Amino acid sequence: MKRRDFSLGAAALLAGAARASEQVPPPPQRVPLLVTNATLHPVAAPDIANGRMLVDGGRIVALAGPGQPLPATATPPQVLDLGGAHVYPGFIAASSTLGLVEVSGVAVTVDSTERAPISPGARALVAINPDSELLPVARSNGVLTALVTPQGPAGGGISGTSALVQLDGWTWEDMALVPEAALHVALPSLRLADEVLGPQLLPAADELRRFAAQRLRLIDEAFDTAAAYARARAATPTLPRDPRWDAMAPVLRGERPLFVHANELAQIRHALALAERHRLKLVIVGGADAPRIADVLRERDVAVIVGGVHLRPLRRDEDVDARFRVAARLHAAGVRFAIARAGGAASERNLPYEAASAAAHGLPRDEALKAITLYPAQILGVAERLGALAPGRLASFFVTDGDPLETPTQVQRLFVQGRELAVDNKQIRLADKYRQRYEQLKPR
């Protein structure tokens, strides 16, 4: 994100032009589709064995069990017999850099971060590379939708606005489901006590504390300025416009949530104070310490997007599996939550295994599945379109030979808005290529 406001940079586009995904987006669904002989997993309702699902116009029309009728269609549907396979709604990556980062170690392919610490006008959507090779990789393991999120500058700040996109389309306009989903703020680390910093950072302790305090002031002042700007424009509509504060106006009006990236207890408390002062709709992203303040989060109806399960504990005295149990503890406390990844875009395909690890550490299995389908859709305000198999929802689903939270399970087919996409990607092709090499090397 090399430029601010409406253009986040051409780096990702240049990278895509050099090496683009070979997959061609299919046209919109024109013929109804009838899925039969399948175990349907609606997520928001009980499973349907030997079920049928009717899809038309890119949306789910109806689900039915054995002997239950389905509505008629104007055109005879194409019948897809799945032979007893399983059907799940597409997974939702609730915090991702898909489309903004191709190779994290190659700067020209990274377009996720603005240089300025206060960049509310930055829009992730316009920087997304629809030809990224990483989109088919994530898609082939069931991740069909992502909240593409601008990353906070070093030391914290206001990062810009995220976009909810489907992982298929010719352009970022085609991919967009919610072009401007949330405003993102990254807070600086506030665990800066001498005993926490350790001997290497201790000489710079005072400077680090001053820097963190300065960044917090910048963030707080930006919200104060945006609020004053909104009041001034309401009183005098002819005042000159400022794209930075215009971008924050929907958040201050409560029309768009504020996602604060915070793991530490002090960071979460600061986010709560900021939200209370300006009456903001707050969502915590990260939330390693969220269980420590779960009662407050539940009372204020603040949702938490658990930013990664496969992570080390935040503190030396915590159990080694502390991060694995965050989701279970939030669930037990009645806090709304979802599970996302904390790694780079290249490993977004591992999202279901993050949920599986949470399930292995106390989170009920059904809740783990909802944490990457229904719950992120609810937090993002799109539960009427995504997150479950139900009439009226977008027909974005995938077919497996078993439980998608288990690593041996294979995704056999996938659909985005009723259009079937190939379960293929660069990594699969490379694996097939080198498998042949070793077959050739076997002694005859």
**What DSSP string runs through 11-46?**
HHHHHHHHS---PPPPPPP-S-EEEEEEEE--SSS-
* Kind and range of the H or E run holding 229: helix 205-235
How much is the pLDDT for 193?
A: 57
CB distance 293 to 266 below 8 Å: no
- The pLDDT profile of the chain, 444 residues, written as one tens digit per residue, is 444 443 444 444 444 444 567 789 999 999 999 999 999 999 999 999 999 999 999 999 999 999 999 999 999 999 999 999 999 999 999 999 999 999 988 888 988 888 899 999 999 999 999 999 999 999 999 999 999 999 988 889 999 999 999 999 999 999 999 999 999 999 998 876 554 555 566 667 778 888 889 999 999 999 999 999 999 999 999 999 999 999 999 999 999 999 999 999 999 999 999 999 999 999 999 999 999 999 999 999 999 999 999 999 988 889 999 999 999 999 999 999 999 998 789 999 999 999 999 999 999 999 999 999 999 999 999 999 999 999 999 999 999 999 999 999 999 999 999 999 999 999 889 999 999 988 888 887
Residue 375: Cβ within 10 Å count: 25
Cα Rg for the chain, rounded, in angstroms? 23
Q: How would you class 137 by CB atoms within 10 Å of its CB: exposed for 0-12, middle for 13-18, buried for 19 or more?
A: buried
Cα 279-281-285 angle, rounded to 5 deg: 130
Cβ neighbors of 431 (< 8 A, separation 6 or more) are none
How much is the pLDDT for 4?
A: 41
Question: How far is the C-alpha of 93 from the C-alpha of 98, rounded, in Å?
Answer: 9
Cα 102-103-108 angle, rounded to 5 deg: 85
CA proximity to 41, closest of 442, 402, 345, 413: 402
* Kind and range of the H or E run holding 175: helix 172-175
Cβ neighbors of 267 (< 8 A, separation 6 or more) are 187, 189, 190, 260, 289
What is the separation of C-alpha 372 from the centre of its chain, rounded to a whole number of angstroms?
A: 9
What is the separation of C-alpha 361 from the centre of its chain, rounded to a whole number of angstroms?
A: 22
How many residues are present in the chain? 444
What is the separation of C-alpha 237 from the centre of its chain, rounded to a whole number of angstroms?
A: 36
Q: How would you class 222 by CB atoms within 10 Å of its CB: exposed for 0-12, middle for 13-18, buried for 19 or more?
A: buried
CB distance 48 to 70 below 8 Å: no
How much is the pLDDT for 192?
A: 60
Domain 11-21+91-385: give its CATH superfamily.
Answer: Metal-dependent hydrolases (3.20.20.140)
Q: DSSP strand E in 206-332: where?
A: 258-262, 282-286, 303-307
Cβ neighbors of 438 (< 8 A, separation 6 or more) are none
CB distance 281 to 257 below 8 Å: yes
Place of tokens 């939550």: 337
**Domain layout of the chain by residue ranges:** 11-21+91-385
How much is the pLDDT for 163?
A: 98
373 token code pair: 């389908």
CA proximity to 218, closest of 250, 180, 173, 185: 185
Label the pairing between strands 59-64 and 143-148: unpaired
CB distance 134 to 348 below 8 Å: yes
Place of tokens 């938490």: 304
Residue 99: Cβ within 10 Å count: 28
Burial readout 302-335 (b: 16 or more C-beta within 10 A, e: otherwise):
bbbbbbbbebeebeeeeeeebbbbbbbbbbeeeb
- What is the SS3 assignment for 426? helix
How much is the pLDDT for 169?
A: 95
